[in-house]
Amino acid sequence: MIISEEQAVIILKQDGVVALPTETVYGLACNAKSKTAIEQVYKIKNRPADNPLICHFSSMDEILKEVITPADFVLALMKILSPGPVSYLLNLKPNSLLRAATAGSNKVVARIPDQENFLRMLSLLDFPLAAPSANTSGKVSPTNASMVEYDLGNKIDGIVDGGNCIIGLESTILDCTNKNKIVILRPGAIGKKEIENLLVQLELNVTVIENIISNEVTPGTKYRHYSPVTPVYKINDIHSHSFSANETLILVLQQLDEHKHFINELIQKGVMILNLGSLTEMEKIASQLFVNLKMLDEQKSVAAFMLPIDWGTSSIGMAIANRLSKVIL
């Protein structure tokens, strides 16, 4: 059910759970300090109880009320990158009520979303919003309101429709709890290169490390993510699988052009073609990626196959490759 921002604010104040748009993906939001509301989010998503929830704030000042003051380089980066698609793992103050959202952890992942509906609602609330992606645990993250409705519509108190998410991939998560280094725990639209460039501009001598997975913090790695119901397999060559009707070939525009004639034959056989878009427009591919993956299920495709794709070395390309690697069996 689509609801207005005003209705969502009332529901959130009463410990309800609503889906809200952000620039990355839709979030399943509730009062981050309310144990009752947080419990509902875990139940609705069927999320393992030890997987903490990311918290959303209206400003840096609001974040700093809850966390032990991070290093100066972290503050400098936050000033530039937030609001935006970047989240920061920070140490909580000893008495912070956000432990309700962090599954008891002394650290919180915090972010300021760059989305007008979300920011307006935060400005009307006197608490931060816990909001994991608004999907059943293990499913593809939703990037429009109808995807949320399809997956969780009958379990939640409403959806604020903010249209399509501009970025379409979840935020980059940076571990900012170290003195002289930043660890990228989850790749996203803003990556190592962008962060390193900013640090150089700011004349800060900080190392950026990618994806070091410790036992303690494992965002997006411990649990399987982003899976459509349709199984997706990798094939090395378009001829290495003999396609049947109701199967899908996933590719990019460049591959579609390269294998035009063979693909026409496949289409005549009843094989579905899922074109992710052109490699020259990676931002567009990212923003449509989860909608496209969802299409596999909507079209009741029995299996999907994907050719190797060179996603290059841009941050957005690497983030797309990361999400697809979690989809492929």
Of the two residues 70 and 188, which places its CB atom closer to Mg ion in the complex? 188
- Rounded least distance, CB 120 to ligand TXA, Å: 16
51 binds, among Mg ion, ligand TXA, none (CB under 5 to 8 A by kind): ligand TXA
| 3-state DSSP assignment of residue 186 | strand
Binding mask 56-95 for ligand TXA (x = CB under 6 A): -------------------------------x-x------
Residues 175, 208: Cα–Cα separation, whole Å: 10
A 10 A CB-CB count for 268 gives 9
Considering only 70, 132, 187, 277, the residue that binds ligand TXA (CB under 6 A) is 132
**Strand pairing report for 55-56 and 86-91:** unpaired
Considering only 115, 171, 292, 322, the residue that binds ligand TXA (CB under 6 A) is 171
Of the two residues 198 and 217, which places its CB atom closer to ligand TXA in the complex? 217
Asked if residue 40 binds ligand TXA (CB under 6 A), the reply is no
Asked if residue 160 binds ligand TXA (CB under 6 A), the reply is no
Residues 302, 246: Cα–Cα separation, whole Å: 6
Of the two residues 132 and 317, which places its CB atom closer to ligand TXA in the complex? 132
- Rounded least distance, CB 130 to ligand TXA, Å: 9
Burial label for 95, CB within 10 Å (0-12, 13-18, 19+), is exposed
Interface with ligand TXA by CB under 6 A: which range of 23-31, 74-82, 278-286, 298-306? 23-31
Give the footprint of Mg ion on residues 78-137 (CB under 5 A): 133
DSSP letters along 235-303, please?
Answer: -SSTTSS---TTEEEEE-HHHHHHTHHHHHHHHHTT-EEEE---TT-HHHHHHHHHHHHHHHHHTT-SE
Of the two residues 29 and 249, which places its CB atom closer to ligand TXA in the complex? 29
**Strand pairing report for 107-111 and 86-91:** antiparallel
Residues 272, 296: Cα–Cα separation, whole Å: 9
Is residue 107 within 8 Å of residue 53, measured between CB atoms? no
Asked if residue 322 binds Mg ion (CB under 5 A), the reply is no
Nearest by Cα to 289 from 141, 127, 101: 141
192 binds, among ligand TXA, Mg ion, none (CB under 5 to 8 A by kind): none
Considering only 74, 96, 107, 322, the residue that binds ligand TXA (CB under 6 A) is 107
Residues 57, 97: Cα–Cα separation, whole Å: 14
| 3-state DSSP assignment of residue 232 | strand
Interface with ligand TXA by CB under 6 A: which range of 48-56, 63-71, 143-151, 286-294? 48-56
Asked if residue 139 binds ligand TXA (CB under 6 A), the reply is no
Interface with ligand TXA by CB under 6 A: which range of 99-107, 148-156, 207-215, 236-244? 99-107
CA atoms within 13 A on the CB side of 11: 21
Q: Which residues bind Mg ion (CB under 5 A)?
A: 133
